[in-house]
Structure 1
Amino acid sequence: MGAVNIWNAMDVAEEAREYHSSQILSSSLTVPTSLSILDMKPRVIELCKDLFKKWSKLDDSCFYVDTVSGGITNLLLKVTVKEENHDVSVTVRLYGPNTEYVINRERELLAIKYLSAAGFGAKLLGVFGNGMVQSFINARTLIPLDMRKPELAAEIARQLRKFHQVDVPGSKEPQLWIDIHKFFDKASSLKFDDSEKQKTYESISFNEVQDEIVALKELTGLLNSPVVFSHNDLLSGNIMVNDEEEKLYLIDFEYGSYNYRGYDIGNHFAEYAGYECDYSLLPNKDEQYHFFRHYLQPDRPNEVPDRDLENLFVEANIYLLAAHVFWALWALIQAKVSPIDFDYLSYFFLRYNEYKRQKEKYFSLARSYLSESSSL
């Protein structure tokens, strides 16, 4: 991957003004996610014709609808339209049912406008009852093993630094502990119809979880991690690359908000494990230092002082623990409200048990670091 120029705030601000002068198309139509792709197709075509008036008179045979991906939150569809002289493709993103319990859609839409102006993700073309339409990105989605490749890791680090420099209007208050407390309140008062699920759920000690949240919040608060606009969900499925053009894209900003720099980086490292939570795949210290060098000084990665690498190592790994708690609580809520066929209850235990396994190691590291820093 080639080096990326440092983001120019004045250029991006000008682009943002131009972007906001154009109106985002909207439709009141919805496309039920419970339908099969075959039954969904006419609804998607109707939606595209309603949003984009230039397609309204085209025959339905001019539209081709394919599934791009079906993750554990949303469904992505590629719609290709045969126009007179060429084909045009857009991406239709259908929100997963009940995702409003864990995602602030208004915040997401605001962020997309400014992030798109800064060159991130796909351009937002329109919104509808249960989703959005964006420009199509001609690239492949990464898999977890891709993220540890040195060239890709360096480019992700450079792009994440640039991402963290985007100024999105609104509250600059970090959302991590606000969201964790909100998730805890919901997750600790659930009732499952399935007796086996209820039995598994009742094995969780929420008093213990609450104590861990308090201790973790107190310790991370001493690290003074910078507050930046963060992606907060930088897993492999939200990173795309065009191998021929050597261009990398960060996409899907559903969880985007102002947050702690260490959290965004630590959460990214946690995602090396994939949905299967194979924590043997997490980046080791050398791999993390490689990432930090390209994040901290993209133009001169080999000149980053050792102390800066050590500081970010502590910061990222203590916040990695917070990422385990965040997604563990998220999984409990999803276990109750999501119709997607994924074992969210088991995912809670995979994340929370890994937090408990790693807690003492990184709590000790953080305390030792804080003690040394105070004596300097």
Structure 2
Amino acid sequence: MRVPKLAAEIAKELRRFHAVEIPGSKEPQLWNEIFKFYESASGLQFDDAEKQRTYNTISFKEVYGEIIEIKELTSRLNSPVVFAHNDLLSGNLMVNDDEEKLYLIDFEYGSYSYRGFDIGNHFNEYAGYDCDYSLYPSKEEQDLFFRHYLQPDKPDEVSSKELEVLYIESNTFMLASHLFWALWALIQAKMSPIDFDYLGYFFLRYNEYRSKKEANCSLARSYLSGLHKS
């Protein structure tokens, strides 16, 4: 996904996807889903004693506080509400080499949500199935994506201000993405028949959230403060 030509095509296709009008309520579902996940995830009981011990180390009071903080911060960014894919990982991209055409597939998690969440969530997926978060896209890689998302026909004409807005938006909502999938993983740890360490995946996502939180939140708050002063 990080190959520049492919990244540009993904950005263009995502812009087209975000322009789709779906009948029904256009109320963004992100925080409703996260709070639902939290309610389910915070009251689990495991038959496996080792899993239960690991689960008991989670401070759900802390997690709830993090949800409230990120919800409040992202609400100040005025991210546009779009019909979002919400799960744009490499496995949900299909490339037809003969036609040189890219398709987004698997809309299981599709719903009205925030533009910044869909893009930030996609950037988190640069980590791949090995969850190597050192592969998270650089500022330059993100700018290339933003240019083709914002102006597919004239990417070089995107202003530095437009790039800044989308950079702040996406890199704040990427924190919400970690919270979303961390809580999702706890529910899967209890419910899923798939042999996968979902409990471990919770800690992977939550620890990555904590490692990025301070820098990304500080950037967003500094940006918002600048807007207020101007």
TM-score normalised by L of structure 2: 0.99
CA deviation after TM superposition for structure 1 residue 275, in Å: 2.7
Task: Give yes or no for the alignment of 1:260 onto 2:114.
Answer: yes
Task: Give yes or no for the alignment of 1:195 onto 2:56.
Answer: no
Q: Which runs of 5+ in 2 are unaligned?
A: none
Aligned letter for 2:107?
Answer: F
From 155, 159, 168, the counterpart of 1:305: 159
CA deviation after TM superposition for structure 1 residue 288, in Å: 0.2
SS of residue paired to 2:86:
coil
From 277, 291, 295, the counterpart of 2:145: 291
Q: Which has the higher strand share?
A: 1
Aligned letter for 2:96?
Answer: N
From 215, 222, 225, the counterpart of 1:368: 222
**Sequence identity percentage:** 70
Once the two structures are superposed, what CA deviation does each residue of 1:197-223 show, in whole Å capped at 9, x if it has no partner?
000000000000000001000000000
Aligned letter for 2:105?
Answer: I
CA distance in 1, matches of 2:156, 2:195: 45
Once the two structures are superposed, what CA deviation does each residue of 1:344-365 show, in whole Å capped at 9, x if it has no partner?
1100000000000100001100
User: Could you say which structure has the larger radius of gyration?
Assistant: 1
CA distance in 2, matches of 1:210, 1:266: 21
CA distance in 1, matches of 2:202, 2:161: 35
From 173, 195, 198, the counterpart of 1:319: 173
Q: How do 1:1-376 residues align onto structure 2 when only pairs under 5 Å count?
A: 147-376=1-230
SS of residue paired to 2:212:
helix
Aligned letter for 1:217?
Answer: K
CA distance in 1, matches of 2:129, 2:81: 27
CA distance in 1, matches of 2:53, 2:129: 24
SS of residue paired to 1:241:
strand
Once the two structures are superposed, what CA deviation does each residue of 1:243-266 show, in whole Å capped at 9, x if it has no partner?
121110100000000000000000
CA distance in 2, matches of 1:211, 1:276: 29
CA distance in 2, matches of 1:281, 1:362: 17
Number of residue-to-residue matches in the alignment: 230
Aligned letter for 1:330?
Answer: W
CA distance in 1, matches of 2:106, 2:196: 20
CA distance in 2, matches of 1:330, 1:208: 17
CA distance in 2, matches of 1:241, 1:179: 30
1:121 maps to none
CA distance in 2, matches of 1:290, 1:374: 28
CA distance in 2, matches of 1:344, 1:170: 33
SS of residue paired to 1:148:
coil
Structure with the bigger RCO (C-alpha within 8 Å, sep 6+) is 2
CA distance in 2, matches of 1:375, 1:295: 29
Q: Which has the higher helix share?
A: 2
Q: Which runs of 5+ in 1 are unaligned?
A: 1-146
SS of residue paired to 1:342:
coil
Once the two structures are superposed, what CA deviation does each residue of 1:267-301 show, in whole Å capped at 9, x if it has no partner?
00000112321001110000000000000000000
Single out whichever of 355-364 and 269-278 deviates more from structure 2: 269-278
SS of residue paired to 1:259:
strand
TM-score normalised by L of structure 1: 0.61
Aligned letter for 2:6?
Answer: L
CA distance in 1, matches of 2:129, 2:216: 23
CA deviation after TM superposition for structure 1 residue 305, in Å: 0.3
Once the two structures are superposed, what CA deviation does each residue of 1:63-111 show, in whole Å capped at 9, x if it has no partner?
xxxxxxxxxxxxxxxxxxxxxxxxxxxxxxxxxxxxxxxxxxxxxxxxx
CA distance in 1, matches of 2:125, 2:56: 27
Aligned letter for 2:201?
Answer: Y
CA distance in 2, matches of 1:282, 1:333: 26
CA distance in 1, matches of 2:47, 2:116: 38
SS of residue paired to 2:82:
strand
